[in-house]
Amino acid sequence: MRKTNKLIFISLLVSVGLALSVLESSIPIPIPVPGAKLGLSNIVILVTLVVFGFKEGIIVAMLKSILLMLITGSVTSFIYSITGAVLSCIAMYISYRYLSKFFSMIGTSVIGAVFHNIGQVTIAAIILNNIMIYTYLPFLLLMSLFTGFFVGLATHYIVKNLKINFNSIFESRNKK
């Protein structure tokens, strides 16, 4: 894949991730777990990890968080978002790259969701200087199972479709 095409594709992934983040913030979740979200933008990050690799996945995750902060103006949310996104990206990459014999795309996504929540709760504990915030973690981890399943399933079908329709992306990835 030419460098320009790759840059365009990654830019589109960042844009879609940003759009999904903004859309997600307007979707009410009928579960009484404050701060729980569907994690729709994690679909884009996981697709980026699978198609392009770790470096591009981290770039997409960080750019999405930075641009979301610029759109919403919430620096506090940015701190939680960037921490969760980076930790999740690292965990998903390790799972996908080294543990794919044991974990499907859904398992990789659940691992990412779990680490996203661990990162955010850890940052909350540091900011609030209160370790008791970890008592909230089991509720978020339970939600991670459901949101991670959905994100992993969606990613599986998207990657499958990309392999069929954009085979040149995967061919250039395998030549590295």
- Which domain does 20 fall in, by range? 3-28+38-171
**pLDDT tens column, 69-103:** 998 888 888 998 899 999 999 999 999 999 988 99
Q: How many residues does the chain have?
A: 176
In a domain, 176, yes or no: no
CATH number at residue 139: 1.10.1760.20
Rounded to an integer, what distance in angstroms lies between the CA atom of residue 127 and that of residue 76? 10
Total domain count, the chain: 1
Parts of the chain with a pLDDT under 70 = 1, 30-35, 168-176
Residue written as tokens 């030549």? 175
pTM for the full model?
0.87
Give every CB contact of residue 141 below 8 A, 6+ residues apart in sequence.
114, 117
DSSP 8-state symbol, 101: T
Backbone angles phi and psi of 130, in degrees to 5: -145, 110
The answer to whether the beta carbons of residues 113 and 150 sit under 8 Å apart is no
pLDDT in tens, 115-131: 999 999 999 999 999 99
Question: Which tokens hold the place of 91?
Answer: 């965990």
Q: How far apart are CA 137 and CA 28, in angstroms?
A: 20
- What pLDDT score does 175 carry? 57
